Amino acid sequence: MLNLPAWQRCLDAEFGAPSPGRYRVQPEDFVVDEQLDFTPENHGEHLWLRLEKRHQTTLDVVKSVSRLCGVTLRDVGYSGMKDRVAVTRQWLSVHLPGREAPSDLSESLAAVGITVLAQARHPRKLKRGVHRTNHFTLRLSGEALQHPNFFDRWEALCRHGVPNYFGPQRFGPEGRNLQRAEALLAKGWRKRDDRQGMMLSTARSFLFNELLSERLTDGTWCQPLAGDMLMLDGTHSVFTVDAVDDDLIGRAAALDIHPTGALWGVGELAEYQVADYEKRLLACHPMLCEGLVKSGVKRSHRALRARLISPSIEILPNAVVLSFALPRGSFATAVVSELIAHPDFV
């Protein structure tokens, strides 16, 4: 049975392991604000709602909205999944052609702990992955803040970026989603057993984290290699390089481009230096790799590194508040794990 690997950190070689610390003691310690790069057009069949929630998952909110509006779950759209133990703000859409939402929708949502911050009509459903960034405001406390290198660690992350791990929440409590994914792929993936594709996503996330950990170990997670597919910062535009020159090395150091790792699926393996990493991954986890290919999911790529966007830090008595944005799909826990020791990252 698969177990989650130990969480590797990029700063330990320079600063040593971080000291113990606390985060997300209460929802207000972990605030997430989803940012689109467009606004609803104020007309159309879909009602878009900007909502704030606490102690609920995005799917919990989807179920509440569908029930109160009298629509199916498929009629409710959202861009990203947000944490449960957090204060999170995001848009959802509801397909309401030719009719208005219930007049008491805001009050009914408030009764189940969901606040409507804004609403507007739009011609199209909100699709997965269309938001540009998530902005985080995180409160950290504990012994780690007293260590003299805590602020050096933070500055290093601001300068060099963070390993773009899928966070522990992707794998469920005690990694149970990973165990479910392993069992499903072993018998042959079927859509009826995984309607949302969550098990496929879990398996691909695990393999990506394994590859990232290996490149962290040998120091190449932020350095281009021959055969790398490189991603332009701020976009999902990618290009493959057969050889590495000083220009690429300089652009990577300036956080303009990032090496990527495979999200496993149907497609050609990498070539040159990067091929060795993928061959080892295939040798270590043949059932997962082959099961993903048999499922038909298409191979894609994810940056091995994420840049902190507009980072800042506020020092409080016995705590600090970090503020930064990350590209969609990147996890704030990757940042926190570099700064404090916590059971989530073991």
Residue 324 carries which side chain, given as an amino acid letter?
Answer: F
Residue whose entry in the numeric block shows the structure tokens 């894609």: 300
DSSP state of 255: T
**Six-digit token string for 57:** 């998952």
Residue 324 near residue 312, CB atoms below 8 Å: yes
Which residues are CB-contacts of 275 (< 8 A; sequence separation ≥ 6)? 227, 269
pLDDT of residue 3: 75
Q: Give the global pTM.
A: 0.94
The pLDDT score that the predictor gives to residue 235 is 83
CA separation for the pair 223, 230 (Å, rounded):
10
Q: Please tell me whether residue 225 adopts helix, strand or coil conformation.
A: coil
Active-site positions read 83
Nearest alpha carbon to residue 201 among 268, 129, 254, 134: 129
Closest CA to 19 of 137, 214, 153, 165: 153
Grouping H, G, I as helix, E, B as strand and the rest as coil, residue 28 is helix
> Buried b / exposed e across 129-141, counting CB within 10 Å, b at 16+?
ebbbbbbbbbbbb
CA distance 153 to 145: 11
pLDDT along the chain (346 residues), means of 10: 79 93 96 94 97 95 97 96 94 96 96 97 95 96 94 97 93 89 94 91 97 95 97 92 96 97 96 96 96 97 97 97 96 96 84
Instruction: Output the pLDDT for position 148.
Output: 84
Beta-bridge partner residues of 325: 135, 309
CB atoms within 10 A of CB 247: 8
How would DSSP label each residue in 148-208?
Answer: TTHHHHHHHHHHH-EE-PPPGGGG-GGGHHHHHHHHHHHH---GGG-TT-HHHHHHHHHHH
Q: How far apart are the first and last CA of the chain?
A: 18
By C-alpha distance, which of 247, 277, 258 is closest to 326? 258
- Stated as kind and residue range, the H or E segment containing 262 is strand 257-263
Q: Which pLDDT belongs to residue 175?
A: 86
Task: Find all residues with CB under 8 Å of 103, minimum gap 6, and list them.
Answer: none
Report whether 5 contacts 213 (CB < 8 A). Answer: yes
Residue 340's CB: how many other CB atoms inside 10 A?
23
What does the alpha-carbon distance between residue 201 and residue 60 come to, in Å, rounded to a whole number?
Answer: 20
Task: Specify the amino acid at residue 282.
Answer: L
- Write down how long the chain is: 346
